[in-house]
Amino acid sequence: MAALNATQASLLGFLHDGPKTGWDLLDEVSRGLARFWNVTSSHVYRELKTLEGRGLIEAGPTGPRDRQPYAITADGKTAFAAWLHTEPGPEQIRVPLLVTLWFGKHLDAATLAGFVDTHRVMHEQRLDEYRSIKDTATDADPHISAVVEFGIAYEEAFLRWLAELEFSDPLS
């Protein structure tokens, strides 16, 4: 059997808790995992069809608003367990602001400061989200708690880094 990609495996992991529609899966991803793993609606629906074609999930009857629930099969549980026992690959940091900063000498200081301010607000909001998740949803699962704690530490570090940035205007 072909190996699972991380998106397929995460969907199987969410389906371990019971049948879910693509909408339900997207909602669950958006409440936590989305900050650490990019999963779009097109990914979810494409991968659900792939997983169904491989016999790793089964589609249930279509419900309201044409939403179709999917359930993990025994083969899906086996494939998920095999994926989960495989060493994760190295992370790849993707921070668009870093690409802009790399070429920052071509920007005026005001524009660059505006970008930094936008990201400061965004990271402050994420930090608030993680703290909210920590306060409400992590008591039952220490694994999710560990991921949320990483998110908090990451956002705090990113905000410290942003606060230390100083730029002169290279275009003046």
Burial class (CB in 10 A: 0-12, 13-18, 19+), 155: buried
- Compute the distance between CA of residue 49 and CA of residue 47 in angstroms, rounded to an integer: 5
- Compute the distance between CA of residue 25 and CA of residue 117 in angstroms, rounded to an integer: 32
Each of the 172 residues of the chain gets a pLDDT tens digit; together they read 678 998 999 999 999 999 999 999 999 888 777 777 788 889 899 999 999 999 999 999 887 888 899 999 999 999 999 999 999 888 887 889 999 999 988 989 889 999 999 999 999 999 998 898 887 765 678 888 888 899 999 999 999 999 998 776 555 5
Contact status, residue 75 vs residue 55, Cβ threshold 8 Å: yes
Secondary structure tally for the chain: helices H, strands E: 7, 3
Q: What residue type is assigned to position 110 of the chain?
A: A
Strands laid side by side in the 20-21 sheet: 20-21, 69-72, 57-59
- Compute the distance between CA of residue 115 and CA of residue 107 in angstroms, rounded to an integer: 11
Three-state secondary-structure class, residue 59: strand
> Which pLDDT belongs to residue 59?
94
> Which pLDDT belongs to residue 16?
93
> Looking up tokens 């705090």, which residue turns up?
156
> Which pLDDT belongs to residue 31?
77
- Compute the distance between CA of residue 113 and CA of residue 56 in angstroms, rounded to an integer: 49
- Compute the distance between CA of residue 44 and CA of residue 31 in angstroms, rounded to an integer: 15
Three-state secondary-structure class, residue 170: coil
> Which pLDDT belongs to residue 109?
87
> Which pLDDT belongs to residue 80?
96
Whether the CA torsion 7, 26, 99, 157 is positive or negative: it is negative
